[in-house]
Amino acid sequence: MRTGPVKFELLRRDSGTQARRGRLQTAHGTVETPAFMAVGTAGTVKAIGPDDLNRLGVEIILGNTYHLMLRPGEELIAEMGGLHRFIGWQRPILTDSGGFQVFSLSKKRSISEEGVQFQSHLDGSSWLLTPERSIEIQQRMGTDIAMAFDECPPAMADRAYLEESLSRTTRWLRRCAEAWKADRCALFGIVQGGLDRELRRRHVEEVCELDLPGYALGGYSVGEDATTMREGVAYSAPLLPVDRPRYLMGVGGPADLVACIASGVDMFDCVLPTRCARNGLLFTSLGKVVIKNASHAKDPRPLDPNCACYTCVHFSRAYLRHLFMAREILAMRLNTLHNLKYFLDLMAGARAAIEQNRYAAFAATTPAWNKDHSEHG
């Protein structure tokens, strides 16, 4: 196996579930797993800075090849000393290959064996993204973990389409592996297969033939309900190699995180905490809070009495509501700081529970409110 500058150590396995406690070593620092990656799509975690991320204890963020290649371009990023230096972040970075965005954001696209020809969602300009090009961009930006270029078909795609897509994704993965320079970064392969268990198992075998430093599950939470998604992950995650990190792409609801950790997933990313923060939906130990609601107008309490984040220590719900209703920029920052702290604390709690071999009990205490958008407290 070519691991390059990234190594994974499995520290503990929970006896009552598939939950795992691990440690990912990279050239830019250590990531304790299970881990939630803050999403910095275009080179920034929206509304907060790298100093905020450091104070929160964020250990790894995600950037995106599609967005960064369109603007400002990997040539500029490389000229500025690489993505870490360009954005002022010296801890680990994982970059998505751009495949999902090509299929979800581009105005027009056509798939061929070479790659995907698409139109930019910014200005309609024409671009070609191939497996080799995706890896080249990620390596030039200096990422710690590069994702293979794949196709993410809709969850409800028919079997014939999934068969064709999987075969092409496997061929693309082999080309990614040939373009990958192991001394520059790690390469994670991506398993697809929709909701078809036979195809998932087959694709795991094909992807794992390449003996890569890590593996990801793609194509979940793309249209199916939460129960179906969790059942699919519970089947697929244990099929991946025990000694490699397992990454579930794009899944991030608190209840989903807790359930999928129990299935053996180590790494997650999602825009949910930051996007919800900007829209005034806040996660707390007491329930979800819609901060614009009139019930908070004169509420002197902190957002979450059980949270030690900067927002909860210093400000009242009444002030947070005032900022949000006045459309003050500070509202976005304070809300984002809190939501990310909530997700990081959830991961810390999960790691502690696995270390103490009590993950099932920990999972059972996760509030049911996570499953909906109701407000409490």
Supply the residues annotated as catalytic: 96, 269
Q: Report CA-CA distances (Å) from 324 to 26, 277, 331.
A: 38, 10, 5
CB-based contact 63:82 (threshold 8 Å): no
Which runs of consecutive H residues, i.e. helices, occur in the chain? 50-56, 65-70, 74-79, 83-87, 99-105, 131-141, 159-179, 197-208, 226-236, 254-262, 272-278, 310-314, 317-325, 329-355, 359-364
Q: Helix (H, G, I), strand (E, B), or coil: what is residue 279?
A: coil
Enumerate residues 6+ apart whose C-beta is below 8 A from 236.
191, 193, 200, 204, 217
The 3-state DSSP class for residue 119 equals: strand
Q: Are 141 and 77 in contact (CB under 8 A)?
A: yes
Helix (H) or strand (E) holding 269: strand 267-269
Is the Cβ–Cβ distance between 213 and 5 less than 8 Å? no
Amino acid at site 52 = D
Helix (H, G, I), strand (E, B) or coil at 16: coil
194: number of Cβ within 10 Å: 26
Q: How many CB atoms are located within 10 Å of the residue 82 CB? A: 16
- Rounded distance between C-alpha atoms, residue 74 and residue 43, angstroms: 12
CB 315 within 8 A of CB 304: no
* Cα–chain center distance at 65: 14
Q: Tokens representing 287?
A: 């329930």
